[in-house]
A and B are shown apart, each in its own frame.
Chain A
Amino acid sequence: MNFELIIDILPAFGHAALVTLQASILAIVIGAAAGFMLNALAQIYPTTFGIFYRGFVWLIRGTPFLAQLFVIYFGLPQFGITLDAMQATVIGLGIYGAAYFAEIFRAAWQSIPNGQIEAGRAFGLGRRQILRHIEAPQAIRLAVPMLTNQAILILKESSVASIITVPELTMTAGTIVAETFSYAEPYLLLGLIYWLLALAFAGLGHGSEHWLGRRQTH
């Protein structure tokens, strides 16, 4: 194990990690927002929007992200829409995430017992108040673990962007291997860095759960 080499390549990995995080976090935010709206639309307009929603979810969740990315990056130019690798990645991951986030919000919303909403109505709360004070807080609390999990999934899926040469972690590891002719250190470091990032995401998620839980006890 060449420790000098590890020190040497750390800066490159540092930059690559930033690219990975940039793409992932952008995609998470876009995906969560889009997913939330998709679910909201499907709940409010079930007859007109429902079929589109279910079809979208089925398609995105039933196919590999890599295939979706290729459609966006290699296929769209046929329509005159040319995106660079990073743009395609962020948009692709955002759409991919949106389908999963939408389902997470749907599950969280559905798991609130009807009795609580009835109680709200019985005590004279308006629809908007019930939404804001009874449903939303609980739905969020239920959703956080699933949202954290999905964030980690998006982080991991970002590695696929290496295949279309986005200079994120996985691609950078390959470049370093080609330059240094050593396989072990770059790939071991690669695995370690992703692992630590995933653990960090998980830690943030747990922290959020605790913070939210504390606020709810009074």
Chain B
Amino acid sequence: MTLAERLADYMPAIASGMLTTAWLSMLAIVLGFFAALGLYVLRTRSGRIGAGAVKMYVSFFRGTPLLVQLLMLFYLPAAFGVDIQSELAAIAALGLNSAAFQSEILRAGFAAIPHAQIEAARVFGLNPRQILWHIQVPQVLRITLPSLTSETIDIIKGSAVISVLAIADLMRVGKQLVAVSHRPLEVYLSIALAYLLLTTLIAMLASAVVHRSREEKHA
């Protein structure tokens, strides 16, 4: 078989791996986003204890490797007799990890909104929940989109380590293909390029969104 034929053979498996990787990553990002919002609310509204707890959480999840977090989430419950499914541990690890990074990103976004806008919302009778969802979050998303994009790309790349839990993501597909073809160089290069495709697509998508929203809003 020629190289081209072999590559064509790899395609279905790689496509399936890409799907799994993309799906798990997106889920983790979305969960991480809402968790990060929760962390922000906790940090700003629960006094010193809440703020301190959030800071420790963020410090831990940013200061330890994702692989270690994954292993901890998978094996520690076993110490207490609870069996965690691999996919659950993977999503939990990716999500909790992303929440920590997103919380720092969003924090900067919230700070960038002039307090006067919050004041105006308050005197017009909006309650804190409404102010968060209607005034703050839409603007925070717009402001932090570039950083959130970087974070999404980091999660897609970071998800490579979930392969140690035998989840059928891109890396595991690579391992399986190597076992069959005995050509690790071209297989792993293809895997790397598949990741590159995913991350590049995300970057281009975000760039397009930023351009469109910039056109819309200004004279």
Contacts and interface: CB of A to CB of B under 8 A. Distances in A.
Interface stretch (B109-117, B186-194, B211-219): B186-194
Contact of B65 (A62, A71, A170): A170
B189 A194 contact: no
Contacts of B72: 187-188, 190-191
Contact of A62 (B153, B183, B185): B153
Interface in B25-71: 59-60, 62-69, 71
A59 interface: yes
Interface stretch (B74-82, B127-135, B140-148): B74-82
Contacts of A198: 62-64
A75 B185 contact: yes
Contacts of B187: 75
A66 B163 CA distance: 10
A160 B200 contact: no
Interface residues of B, number: 41
B196 interface: yes
Nearest to B60: A195
Nearest to A78: B185
A194 B65 contact: yes
A76 B187 CA distance: 12
Interface stretch (A34-42, A103-111, A177-185): A177-185
14 contacts: A62-B195, A62-B199, A63-B199, A64-B192, A67-B174, A75-B187, A75-B188, A78-B184, A156-B64, A160-B67, A170-B65, A183-B78, A187-B76, A191-B68
Which size class do A's interface residues fall under?
35 or more
Interface in A136-190: 152, 156-160, 162-163, 170, 173-174, 177, 182-184, 187-188, 190
Nearest to B196: A62
Contact of A71 (B63, B158, B185, B196): B185
B68 A190 contact: yes
A199 interface: yes
8 shortest interchain CB distances as A-B pairs: A75-B185, A64-B160, A198-B63, A74-B184, A159-B65, A184-B79, A156-B65, A64-B157
